[in-house]
Amino acid sequence: MTAPVRIAVVYPDLLGTYGDGGNGLILARRAEWRGFEVVLTQAPSDAALPESDIYCLGGGEDGPQVRAARSLIEDGTLARRAATGAVVLAVCAGYQIVGKEFPGADGSPHEGVGLLDIATSKGTGPRAVGEVVGEPSDDAPGALPTLTGFENHGGQTTLGPGVTPLARVVYGVGNGDGSGTEGAVSGRVIGTYLHGPLLARNPALADLLLDWALTEEPPHVPCGGPASDGVAVAPFDDSAAAALREERLAATIGSRRGRPRRRRR
């Protein structure tokens, strides 16, 4: 494992509205803590998309979302790299545009990049805005714990037979097509509506993505354990993320430890 791990945050100028750039930073730090060299790139929309091992796409407004999809299709790199083993984490608007079809500002359908067998249309109800809790699907990859995040979208996403849901919604809306599912997975491409950013609240998912990028056959390595490829995993401290997870889960679905204590004032 001498080559550095290449992580690209895709089009932060178009898909950078909801702090999702944090996902790229989190992956980079965790890879470094595991002893890997990392190249983290903020890849702007006016340049060719760089060759990368992990691509992170975030949320964005309607107009920029359409432009991002058009540029990614013209550029071609994302689809080619996804077909040859690159890891893709696509959030919110990014999730919609890596599907087959998504709505523009006026609701008319636009062609997506087609990495995931999903189609999104403009929802009929109010925007889905709020906390989400999802239990990972049985056929979702890895052995992920409960997912927590914050959604803010007006689209409803229908999954085709080529993908499996990322999670079953136990709090919030998620895909919003009536199936009670959230997100979609196919191979090493994960799409989801969860901000937070997602990987800040779900470090186990970050480690799963890194496992995928670092190995041919991805074994899941829990935080702090020995890596199967012989690289020592630094015993880095996830207590801050654990505290955040506990608080968010308590604030939504409750827990045995009860709701967070009320503030004095």
Q: Which of the ranges 7-15, 78-86, 160-168, 169-177 carries the binding residues for another protein, by CB under 8 A?
A: 7-15
Q: What is the torsional sign of CA 10, 203, 138, 219?
A: positive
Q: Which of 190, 193, 180 is nearest to 128 (CA)?
A: 193
Report the C-alpha dihedral over residues 152, 46, 80, 18, rounded to 10 degrees.
Answer: -20
Q: Which residues contact 68 (CB under 8 A, 6 or more apart)?
A: 10, 11, 14, 15, 45, 57, 60, 93, 94, 97
Q: In the annotation, is 195 catalytic?
A: yes
Cβ 171 to another protein shortest distance, Å: 14
Out of 5, 8, 40, 45, the residue judged to bind another protein by CB under 8 A:
45
The residues in 208-227 that bind another protein, with binding defined as CB under 8 A, are none
| Interaction between residue 154 and another protein (CB under 8 A) | no
Q: Which of the ranges 133-141, 170-178, 189-197, 225-233 carries the binding residues for another protein, by CB under 8 A?
A: 189-197
Number of other CB atoms surrounding residue 222 within 10 Å: 10
Angle between helices 203-214 and 21-33 (to 10 degrees): 70
Catalytic residue, chosen from 56, 153, 195, 223, is: 195
Write the binding mask 111 to 130 for another protein: x where contact by CB under 8 A, - elsewhere: ------------------xx
SS3 231: coil
Kindly list the catalytic residues: 92, 195
Give the binding site for another protein (CB under 8 A).
Answer: 12-14, 16-22, 25-26, 29, 45-46, 61-64, 66-67, 129-131, 150, 152, 195-197, 200-201, 237, 240-241, 243-244, 247, 263-265
